Each structure stands twice: as structure tokens, then as C-alpha cells.
Structure 1
Amino acid sequence: MTIAEPEARWAELGRQACITLAPLFSAVEHIGSTAVPGMPAKPVIDLMAALDDLDEVNDGALESLGYRIQPADMPRRLVYRREDYDSTAYHLHVVTMDTWATRNERLLRDYLLAHPEARERYAALKRELMDRHGPGEAYTRGKTALIQELTDAARTGRGLPPIPVWEE
């Protein structure tokens, strides 16, 4: 999968997905590059939702909405995927409510929305890496330093200590 130029419909797809999922979670938001207007992105609507306990996830309800559990190597997180008829993909990251306010994905999204210069740097890097490496591990690794820098700035701006952007 390659990155695509920004599409206005991404915001609406994210909004509709959040509305649909809201009854199942304590909180749900559109995250990731498709949640940032003007940002090139893989055409995947990334969502983050939270509950007090991951054991509270209603897998049956999610399955009825087309979400299927995916293997995830991240602690305290469940990941679900949904593929729509128009080949739009959705990734749903379910985390615990006690970590919601400090989630790097949410903080980075908010930082990019508030800082156009950071958004432009990140967009340029994504295009450069995709042109050079195509999709895959080299593309993802190539973004890490800038994502860490921007996420650290977002966390510092909220009085939070820096933490690694990739969970292990």
C-alpha cells in the first residue's frame, strides 16, 4: 500500500466511524495522518478507542460492524481491522481509559493540527521516503526520528515526559 494525496472524504469517514463506534467505548477518535487535513497518508482510517478494561471489548458487536481482531505486538492494546466495499481500510486501536490522555497518537495528531510547519515537514518526509523506499519497513523506520521529535514536542507542551513512540 502506498501513500495517497489527501482526500477530503477521510475526515467524514473518520467522523462516521467514530459515531458508529461511540456506543461501544468510553471514548473514540480519528487519529493518524488521515485525521490531519492536507496530510498525505496510506488510505487507512486510523481510530483509537478506550475502555476501562480491555476485557470489556464487545468483540461480537465489533465483528457485526466488520472489525476483525488482528495480532498486535503492543502491550495493553487490541487492534482490529475493517475493510469496506470501496477498499477503504480502518484500523481500530483499543486502549485503556487510564492511558487515553497521554496516548502518543492523539498527541501527535493534535500537534500536527496546531503546527503547520511540523505538518509540512512530516508530509515532505513521507513523500520522500515513499519515493525512495516504497511501502514497508524502511518507510516506517525512516519516519521514526521525526515522529519522535514531534511527539516529544507535543508531550513537552503538555508537561508530559518524552517516551518512545513505538510500543514494545
Structure 2
Amino acid sequence: MSIEISDYDRAWPGRARHAIDEVTALLPGRIVLAEHVGSTAVPGLPAKPVIDMMVATADLGDVLEAEEALRAIGYRRIETGMPERLFYRRPGYHLHVVTTASWDTRNERLLRDHLLGNAADRDEYGRLKRQLAAAGDDADAYTRGKTALIQRMVDAARAAKGLPSVDVWEE
């Protein structure tokens, strides 16, 4: 299966907002914070047409207890091995559930904000994504091929906030 990279679509933020509203309505009181993250959250950045959302909860167990509600609208939990995170997928959407305690230091949020404020890095990242996608259909190679650039940008974003560097691969 080939990797599809699309030009930025102005409909992506609205799709994200709708999906976030849907999830927070299903889990009243359990979701404290919610944002659109990932490449589809950055105007002008080409992306796989998958909406990534990150939501925060006081306790991951609160979301696990209500997981049936997420399943009812098509989300399936995927075991990723990422610490302190639940990951759900449905066609066209990824839902990352993290704790409020880790919200301010989440690399996905920091990278998004860095790309929003740095057009040169956004454009470099977009070019790399297109090159990697054109090189083949290996999703793992595509993801790993972006790692060095993402690490550099996340390191810069973390340093700007006085945060230590951490490996962008959460394993």
C-alpha cells in the first residue's frame, strides 16, 4: 500500500474540531484538554490525510473505563508500547490520550507549535515527507526516515521552553 501525502486541506481543522467535540461529548468529565495535532494541524504542510487529536485526562483509567463509548463510534485501541498514552484509531483519525500531568511536555504539541512558527522548517519537513513517500510504500521506513529532522525540531522546541531533550521515539 502506497503512502498518500496530500496538499494541506482547509477542511482538516473543522474535521478535527468535530471529532474532538464528538469524543469529549462521549466522555463527559473525563477529557480535560483537547487539541488537533500532527501535520494536518499545520496550514501549508502536506500530510497523510489522517487527523491526529491529542486529549488529556486526569487518569488514563478513566478513559479505559469508558472505552466502549469510543468503540461505538469506530475507535479501536492499538497497543503501541508508548508509555503513559492510550492510542485509538478509526478510519481517517488517530486519537492520542495522555495525562494532564504530561500535557505541556508532549512532543506532538511542541512540534506542531514549532512548525506553526517556523515556515522554513515546515517547508523542509513537507519536502522530506514527499520524498520519503515517493521512495516507496514502506510505512516504517517513511516514519523512521523523518526521525532525524523531527528530533532536531523537537529539540529546538523543547530548548526554547527550557525542557530537556528526549527521544522522539516513545518506546
Say whether the fold is shared (TM-score over 0.5): yes
Which has the higher relative contact order, 1 or 2, with Cα contacts under 8 A spaced 6 or more apart?
Answer: 2
Gaps of 5+ in 1: 84-88
The alpha-carbon deviation at position 65 of structure 1 amounts to 2.6
Counterpart of 1:86 in structure 2 is none
Counterpart of 2:121 in structure 1 is 118
Query: Are 1:29 and 1:47, in contact at CA under 8 Å, matched by a contact in 2?
Result: yes
The alpha-carbon deviation at position 135 of structure 1 amounts to 4.3
Counterpart of 2:34 in structure 1 is 28
Query: Are 1:21 and 1:28, in contact at CA under 8 Å, matched by a contact in 2?
Result: no
The one-letter code matched in structure 1 to 2:15 is L
Q: 140, 143, 153: which one pairs with 1:140?
A: 143
Query: Are 1:2 and 1:134, in contact at CA under 8 Å, matched by a contact in 2?
Result: no
Counterpart of 1:44 in structure 2 is 50
2:15 maps to 1:13: yes
Moved >6 Å (runs of 4+): none
Q: 161, 164, 169: which one pairs with 1:158?
A: 161
2:102 maps to 1:99: yes
TM-score (norm 1): 0.92
Give aligned pairs, total.
163
Q: Structure 1 vs Structure 2: percent identity of aligned residues?
A: 52
2:82 maps to 1:74: yes
The one-letter code matched in structure 1 to 2:148 is A
2-structure distance, mates of 1:146, 1:74:
20
User: Secondary structure, in 3 states, of the residue corresponding to 2:165?
Assistant: coil
User: Secondary structure, in 3 states, of the residue corresponding to 2:81?
Assistant: coil
Greater Cα shift, 71-80 or 111-120: 71-80
Counterpart of 2:67 in structure 1 is 59
The one-letter code matched in structure 1 to 2:68 is G
In structure 2, relative to structure 1, the CA distance for the partners of 1:135 and 1:4 (3 Å cut) is farther
The alpha-carbon deviation at position 42 of structure 1 amounts to 0.9
The alpha-carbon deviation at position 15 of structure 1 amounts to 1.4
The alpha-carbon deviation at position 121 of structure 1 amounts to 0.7
RMSD: 1.2
2-structure distance, mates of 1:93, 1:61:
16
